[in-house]
Amino acid sequence: MKSFKAILSFIVLILLANSLLAQSWSIVLHGGAGGMKKENFTQEQIDSYQAELLKALEKGKNILANGGTSLDAVEQVVRYLEDCPLFNAGKGAVFNHDGKNELDAAIMEGKNLMAGAIAGVGDIKNPISTARLVMEKSVHVMMVGRGASDFARSMGAEMVDSSYFFTQPRWNDLQKVLSKEKMGTVGCVALDIHGNLAAATSTGGMTNKRYNRVGDAPIIGAGTYANNATCAVSATGHGEFFIRYTVAHDISALMEYKGLSLVDAVNLVINSKLEKVDGRGGVIAVDKNGNICMDMNTSGMFRAYEKSTGEKGVGIFK
């Protein structure tokens, strides 16, 4: 009898643990990585960036805490960051060589590997939402330029005049013809209580870019990736390196095929593989168990996270 009760108690504990695990959620966001140094920021600027990161985080947290999906959470977080002129996505995106904004975005769902992306658009208010429309309302994965805009218009997406994206600081950046990339890509990854992962990334690309250059953000497997078997990843940095080394998918593959933990996989890719070729940037990631990672080989990355356990944080510098 005692043996039966012990077995029954053990089963109850397992069921309770699984129930608690099913109710857990995690969310991480970034606002770009780069060579930012604390001495180059005023306290007011630091406070402003952190406040906006936390406001975006709150939007995603509320969705997840109320049983919403990770897909909805990452989309709404990135929409908020697209609307915030402090970051290089949506309003406030950097200008290309011709003084225009060219926006890219991608979103991916881990449970079925469905994904959508757009690139080179300049009249869609929230590119991340159109990327989701591509995923859910078309048979394609990526649309670019005028075709992406025509599709967005046909789907009822909010369109704007290109002047909407203008901000004076970004215009000044172009006039200085910066020698280094202006990093400020935004992204979000999340795990919901249903056990599903999702990732979303949006960017204005590089200051002074030419020839319709497209970076890693809208490339599935480079700057954006999600797979329920492993993790969800959103990247920021020098896109050409992230494309060539398929950074986001590489992290997932290292976990799936080599059995690495999320932290070890991210560390190997960001601080070893990319470091060796001088590829600069960082990633945010969350695995299927809700573990998170925010790592970079630059001096800083705008970032914030929260978990259902109450753990929460925000940061800028490494």
CATH class of the domain comprising 24-317? alpha beta
Give the pLDDT score at 23.
Answer: 82
* Average pLDDT estimate for 32-59: 94
Let me know if 108 is exposed, middle or buried by CB neighbors in 10 A (0-12, 13-18, 19+): buried
Residue whose C-alpha is closest to residue 152's, from 169, 134, 167: 134
Q: Band of the pLDDT at 308, cuts 50, 70, 90?
A: very high
Query: Is residue 12 predicted with pLDDT exceeding 50?
Result: no
The full set of domain ranges for the chain reads 24-317
Who has greater pLDDT, 97 or 249? 249
| Average pLDDT taken over every residue of the chain | 91
pLDDT tens for residues 125-161? 999 999 999 999 999 999 999 999 999 999 999 999 9
What pLDDT was estimated at residue 124? 98
Q: Is the dihedral of CA 265, 266, 271, 277 positive or negative?
A: positive
Q: What is the rounded distance in angstroms from the CA atom of residue 203 to the CA atom of residue 70?
A: 20
At 228-283, the pLDDT tens digits run 999 999 999 999 999 999 999 999 999 999 999 999 999 999 999 999 999 999 99
User: What pTM did the predictor assign?
Assistant: 0.90
Looking at residue 16, its pLDDT comes to 47
Q: Per mean pLDDT, which range of 37-41, 43-47, 106-110 is the poorest?
A: 37-41
Q: Please give the pLDDT value at position 197.
A: 98
Annotated catalytic residue within 130, 185, 246, 298 = 185
End-to-end CA distance of the chain: 57
| CA 120 – CA 103 distance, rounded (Å) | 5
pLDDT digits (tens, 9 = 90+) for 100-114: 999 999 999 999 999
pLDDT value of position 7: 56
Q: Are 45 and 51 in contact (CB under 8 A)?
A: no
Spatial distance between the Cα atoms of 183 and 32, rounded to a whole number of angstroms: 5
Is there a catalytic annotation at residue 236? no
**Greater confidence, 312 or 92?**
312
Check whether 117 has a pLDDT greater than 80.
yes
d(CA 187, CA 202): 6
pLDDT at position 210 is: 84
Amino acid at site 150: D
Determine the residue type at 11. Answer: I
What are 15-23's contacts with CB under 8 Å, separation 24+?
21/289, 22/193, 22/194, 22/195, 23/193, 23/308
What would the pLDDT profile of 72-93 be if each residue is shown by its tens digit? Answer: 999 999 999 999 999 999 998 9
For the segment 181-203, what is each residue's pLDDT rounded down to a tens digit? 445 699 999 999 999 999 999 99
Q: What is the percent of the chain where pLDDT is above 70?
A: 89
Token duo for residue 34: 């780069």
Can you tell me the distance from the alpha carbon of 244 to that of 159, in angstroms, rounded to the nearest whole number?
33
pLDDT at 95: 87
Residue 214 has pLDDT above 50, yes or no: yes
Quote the pLDDT of residue 272: 97
Under a CB-based contact definition with an 8 Å cutoff, are residues 161 and 136 in contact? no
Q: Indicate whether 22 pLDDT > 80.
A: no
